[in-house]
Chains A and B, each alone.
Chain A
Amino acid sequence: MKANGKSMKMNRRRFLASFFKGAACIAAVTSLPRLAFAGWNEKAFKAETLEGALSSKYPGLEVVDSSSVKLKAPAIAENGAVVPVSVKTDLPDVKTISLFVEKNPSPLAATFHLTPVNVADVSIRIRMGETSNLIAVVESGGKLHRVQQEVKVTIGGCGG
């Protein structure tokens, strides 16, 4: 009986050990895509107002207008489906750069996550449904540095 009990324990121990090893493997495998993709802020992208998108994306961060952020976009976009936009800044320690189109059905267009090796200079082509303010914010030093520009759109880019 005694011997039996001992081997039972061993079995349980062995079983538990292999169980945890297995669990660790599964955890490692499922966390892999997380490493490649830090996640998509669905709430911010689905927000329908500029304020909503901004506060879901950057809760509690102070927004200041900044002349250190350079936003390059056309004053008049003939085709709202393809509006080239560039954002550049000399601010130190830039964590993220986000682009918002105030009057788009979902104002948040994109967020760029920078690493210390990045140079804060990004470009993208976005859609604009109608003439609207284009807002770029740069997250640096615990603040949001904002710059905005109006882009006139002659043909909307949101289909329909």
Chain B
Amino acid sequence: MTSSRGERLLDVRGLTVRFPTSDGIVQAVSDVSFSLSRGETLGIVGESGSGKSVSNLAIMGLLNRTRTVIAGEVDFKGRDLLTLPPDDLRKVRGKEIAMVFQDPFACLHPMYRVGAQIAEAFSAHSDAGKDAAWSRAVELLDHVGIPNAKSRARDYPHQFSGGMRQRAMIAMALVHNPDILICDEPTTALDVTVQAQILELIEDVKREFDIGVILVTHDLGVVAETANSVMVMYAGRVMEYGPAAEIFSRPQHPYAWGLLDSMPSIERRLDALVPIEGSPPSLLAPPSGCPFHPRCPYRFEPCATERPPLKVPADNAHLDACHLPYEKKVELGEERAKKVAA
């Protein structure tokens, strides 16, 4: 895969998450496999409900165990997180794998001081005293760019702006120098100008702390800026997975094409945007065959009945799950590229 620059941290194999509900079984994540190395940023892209967040919550053990069925393997430095006893998994959370969430307005406890919440993350895995925890909190707040960190640590979350809160969340994630930082839509709730700062901060932090980053987003622009590798998810399945440069220059899956064509940018006028027709399928009864086939303009005979396996279709290509012959994908891809350029 892309980054062999660091030690392999995470190997997810065949991750499957099911939520039994009164309406039936929600097939939130089906057979998802990916890996992450130190120093790598993996972008996980997809529409809402594609299973990106659920996959990560499953890895962190943050899904309610009594109401979810999880299968597969999450190999973290030689341990399978899915079979780890709850208390051992708790010791991994926030220490070796940390997570930053989407909405910094809702993710900090409104009644505790920001510094105290960060210090608490430190104390959760350390016997060092309160003072040590507090100074660690101040140190990290300063590190993530909060001015006057010493006094701002005594503030309550409502006294912080959105960007500052997200910085505080990142500081909280870093208290124990984790191996992996999972960022679940870290910029979605923020102003555009602040978004860039937060992404930059995540990149800086990745380098300084030498960690692996999983960046979950529905914003391809975010991924293009920061990710080394990209995994495109749809209806709980992996559609395409490979190095970021390849995904953006030679996307192989019609769904990825659709995502790229519906992405606004400065160069492209709004009327040149091509939305993907239709809407994502219900995960209670996902379509047979390829989950994308009802919306796919290139579907042909096997798509509705046979599920395309995730495989590398040719040399020099990356993983995708599509029945189209590779030559056809290249041809259609080039056509598409011309249209975009025009």
Partners in one complex: no
